[in-house]
C-alpha cells in the first residue's frame, strides 16, 4: 500500500462509512504489512504540573475557566518525577510521558524539564513531554536535552476547532508541530472523539494529521472523558463502533504510525478494546490515571493482553514474518483495487 499525504475529506468519509467488517479487514491487512504482529507498545503518562491552565479547552478539567474537582499543583520536583518513571519502567512501560497544564513553558521551567528528560533517559526509557505550545528555541532546547517525542494534539478538525477552544488557534498548534519536527524530535499528535463533532469533522482531523509532510510517529485517539464542571459534561456518548471505525481509518491512512488508545479506555470493555487492536491500535497508556482522568489498572491490561496473545515487549520480526508482510502488501493492493466493496474474499494466488 502506498503511503500518502494527499487525502481528501470525502475519501476519508467514504472509508469511515464502509461496512464495518470490510473496514476492519482492510485495516488489519495494512497493520500486518507495516507493524509487528500482536504487539502493543506501553507508555505511562504523569502530570508534572496540574491545574490552573489559562486555556479554555472545553473538554479539560485542568482549565482555570471551569469549576472542577482538580486541585492545582506546582511543577513537580525532579526527584518525584524520576521516582514515578522508575516505577513505570518496573511495571513494563517503555516510554514515559510528562504533561504540564500550561499554555507554554516559561524560561524558568526549562532547566527542570531538561533534568527530568536526562534522568528518565538514563533509565533506558523513551521520553515524551506535552507542555503546551513551543517556539523554535524551546523545541531545540528540549531536543538537545534528549527528548524523544513531543505531544501536541490537533484535537479536532479546523472547522470545528473554534467550538472547543478560543485561546489558541489551529495554526498555533500546527506551528508547534513544525517546530518540533524541525528540532529533530518525533511527533505525537492526535485528537479527541465525542465532543459533538460530525463525521466530516472526524474525517477532517485525520486528513490534517495524515497530510503533514511526515506522519506523526504516534497518533493518540482519545474518547472524551466527560468531567463535571466542564462545558462538555452532558455531551452525547460516542457510539463504540464509530470509535473503532476511526481507529481503523487512522491505521489505513498512517500505516507506519503507532495508533494509541488514550483517554476514555477506562470506559471500554474488553471486547471493544480487542476490536480496537484488531483495527490497528498498537499502543496504550498504562497506569491507573491519565493526567487527571481514570485509566484501567495495570493488572487488567496485562490480563487482557494475555487473553488476546498480545506481547507488550518489542520483538524483532523474523524472516518468515517479513515475507508474510510482503505478501500481505500485495493482498492490500488487490483488495484496494477490487471493483466491488461487498466481497470479503481475496485471490489466494496473488
Nearest to 328 by CA among 350, 302, 299, 301: 350
Please tell me whether 128 is known to bind a ligand.
yes
| Annotation says 276 is catalytic | no
- Cα 320 from Cα 316, distance rounded (Å): 12
- Is 288 annotated as contributing to ligand binding? no
Hunting for cell 494475555 — which residue is that? Answer: 306
Q: Out of 32, 95, 97, 168, pick the active-site residue.
A: 97
Reply yes or no on whether 57 is catalytic: yes
Catalytic residue (one of 32, 128, 168, 251): 128
Q: What is the DSSP letter of 64?
A: T
Do 50 and 72 contact (CB within 8 A), yes or no? yes
Residue 97 annotated to the active site: yes
Per the annotation, the verdict on 260 as an active-site residue is yes
Q: Which of 32, 95, 168, 188 is catalytic?
A: 188
User: Which residue, chain included where needed, has cell 497530510?
Assistant: 211
CA atoms within 13 A on the CB side of 349: 0
Residue 276 assigned to a binding site:
no
How many angstroms separate the first and last alpha carbons of the chain?
15
What number of residues does the chain have?
350
| The one catalytic residue among 202, 260, 265, 276 | 260
Cell triple for residue 255?
A: 500505516
**Feature table: binding site:** 53, 57, 60, 97, 128, 188, 260
Catalytic residues: 53, 57, 60, 97, 128, 188, 260
Known binding-site residue numbers for [4Fe-4S] cluster: 53, 57, 60
Amino acid at each position: 500500500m502506498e503511503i500518502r499525504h494527499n487525502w481528501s475529506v470525502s475519501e476519508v468519509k467514504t472509508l469511515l462509512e464502509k461496512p464495518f467488517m470490510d473496514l476492519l479487514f482492510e485495516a488489519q491487512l495494512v497493520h500486518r504489512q507495516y507493524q509487528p504482529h500482536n504487539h502493543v507498545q506501553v507508555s505511562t503518562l504523569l502530570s508534572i504540573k496540574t491545574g490552573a491552565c489559562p486555556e479554555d479547552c472545553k473538554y479539560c478539567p485542568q482549565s482555570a475557566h471551569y469549576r472542577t474537582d482538580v486541585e492545582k499543583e506546582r511543577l513537580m520536583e525532579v526527584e518525584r518525577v524520576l521516582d514515578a518513571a522508575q516505577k513505570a519502567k518496573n511495571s513494563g512501560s517503555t516510554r514515559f510521558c510528562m504533561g504540564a497544564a500550561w499554555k507554554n513553558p516559561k524560561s524558568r521551567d526549562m532547566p527542570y524539564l531538561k533534568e527530568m528528560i536526562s534522568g528518565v533517559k538514563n533509565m533506558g526509557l523513551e521520553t515524551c513531554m506535552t507542555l503546551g505550545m513551543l517556539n523554535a528555541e524551546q523545541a531545540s532546547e528540549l531536543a538537545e536535552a534528549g527528548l524523544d517525542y513531543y505531544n501536541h494534539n490537533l484535537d479536532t478538525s479546523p472547522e470545528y476547532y473554534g467550538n472547543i477552544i478560543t485561546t489558541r488557534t489551529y495554526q498555533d498548534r500546527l506551528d508547534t508541530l513544525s517546530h518540533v519536527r524541525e528540532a529533530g524530535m518525533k511527533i505525537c499528535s492526535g485528537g479527541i472523539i465525542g465532543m459533538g463533532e460530525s463525521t466530516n469533522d472526524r474525517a477532517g482531523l485525520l486528513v490534517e494529521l495524515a497530510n503533514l509532510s511526515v506522519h506523526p510517529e504516534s497518533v493518540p485517539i482519545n474518547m472524551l472523558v466527560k468531567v463535571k464542571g466542564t462545558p462538555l459534561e452532558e455531551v452525547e456518548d460516542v457510539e463504540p463502533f464509530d470509535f473503532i471505525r476511526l481507529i481503523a481509518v487512522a491505521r489505513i491512512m498512517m500505516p507506519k504510525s503507532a495508533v494509541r488508545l488514550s483517554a476514555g479506555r477506562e470506559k471500554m470493555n474488553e471486547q471493544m478494546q480487542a476490536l480496537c487492536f484488531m483495527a490497528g491500535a498498537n499502543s496504550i497508556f498504562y497506569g491507573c490515571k491519565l493526567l487527571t482522568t481514570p485509566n484501567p489498572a495495570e493488572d487488567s491490561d496485562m490480563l487482557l493482553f494475555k487473553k488476546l496473545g498480545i506481547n507488550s515487549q518489542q520483538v524483532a520480526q523474523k524472516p518468515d514474518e517479513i515475507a508474510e508482510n510482503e505478501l500481505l502488501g500485495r493482498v492490500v493492493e488487490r483488495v484496494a483495487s477490487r471493483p466491488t466493496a461487498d466481497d470479503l474474499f481475496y485471490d489466494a494466488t496473488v
